[in-house]
Amino acid sequence: MNTTSAILPTAPVQIAAVQMVSSTDVQANLAQAGELIAQAAAGGAQIVLLPENFYFMGVKDTDKVALREALGDGPIQSCLSNAARTHGVWLVGGTVPLVSPEPGRVLNTALVFDPQGLQVERYDKIHLFSFAKGEEHFNEARTIWPGEQTCAFASPAGRVGLSICYDLRFPELYRALGDCALMMVTAAFTYTTGRAHWELLLRARAVENQCYVLAAAQGGKHENGRSTWGHSMLIDPWGEIVAELAEGPGVVLGKVNPARIIEIRQSLPALQHRVLR
């Protein structure tokens, strides 16, 4: 029986999700992110995931456009590179606003840095959030240029697939990532949508792909008046929550255990039973 050992680590690997309540002060956000990355590394994490928009939560959606950076150049990327190198971790930098083909919009990009601080992978958010209910109105397409390609990379925890926030509602994206030991979700779910669907969707993605899911979220009341759901968590391939932080800044620690993945895939070989591919 195929246990997909090629995508698995050889031993359990400690990983971490950072939760924040980012403000309109970029420098303060970067400083707090650095402190939380250090906390995760001190807890033994080899891979650290930051939340979406960790660097900034503006008053207006257009505020982030003024902070856009060219790939490989800018203070946000420098902060991530330095943190990865300083602490010797693989760092998935939440999202960074990169220059897009249209001046009025940015790419909402998750960048991966290796323990030497080198940027080795990128994922541009594909699905753009739109929601209207009562006084809540969101339309990311006004300020974000959509990505086109999925992204997975080799890490100490095995093959890791990347996704950003609203992507979580589209299971076909996770199927397109292929066979992974770990899938990551960096997010800033609203309080309304998070309370209704966050845990349900995360656990579904873990169960249907029989892999670990690590989710890093914004979690609390922001300076700009927005409320985010939080509940950063690690979920195992059976859909069980391994660790969780409800709200406020902090770190969620847990392990990717290859034996757990193999056990579940052998006892319930659902991935091998797929007919539509």
Query: Is residue 23 a part of any domain in this protein?
Result: yes
The 10 Å Cβ neighbour count of residue 267 is 8
pLDDT at 6: 54
Query: Is residue 7 a part of any domain in this protein?
Result: no
What is residue 53's DSSP assignment?
Answer: T
- The token pair at 33 is 């992110």
- The token pair at 76 is 């946000």
Query: Is residue 246 a part of any domain in this protein?
Result: yes
| Residues whose CB falls within 8 Å of the CB of residue 106, separated by 6 or more in sequence, listed in order | 64, 65, 68, 97, 98, 99, 100, 143, 144, 145
Query: Is residue 157 a part of any domain in this protein?
Result: yes
Instruction: Indicate the angle between helix axes 26-42 and 75-87, nearest 10 degrees.
Output: 20
Query: Is residue 147 a part of any domain in this protein?
Result: yes
Catalytic, 64? Answer: no
Query: Is residue 3 a part of any domain in this protein?
Result: no
Catalytic, 52? Answer: yes
Distance CA 277, CA 274 (A): 7
Query: Is residue 109 a part of any domain in this protein?
Result: yes
Query: Is residue 111 a part of any domain in this protein?
Result: yes
pTM of the model: 0.96
- Please give the residue range of the domain that contains residue 92: 13-273
- Which listed residue (69, 125, 180, 211) is catalytic? 125
What is each CA distance from 19 to 72, 111, 159, in whole angstroms?
Answer: 25, 17, 23
Nearest one of 4, 34, 37 to 261, comparing CA atoms: 4
pLDDT at 137: 81
Distance CA 10, CA 93 (A): 25
- Overall domain count for the chain: 1
Q: Which residue has the tokens 């109105």?
A: 137
pLDDT at 5: 44
- Which listed residue (165, 180, 199, 247) is catalytic? 165
Residue 220's CATH number? 3.60.110.10
| pLDDT tens-digit profile, the chain (277 residues) | 333 445 899 999 999 999 999 999 999 999 999 999 999 999 999 999 999 999 999 999 899 999 999 999 999 999 999 999 999 999 999 999 999 999 999 999 999 999 999 999 999 999 999 888 887 788 999 999 999 999 999 999 999 999 999 999 999 999 999 999 999 999 999 999 999 999 999 999 999 999 999 999 999 999 999 999 999 999 999 999 999 999 999 999 999 999 999 999 999 999 999 998 7
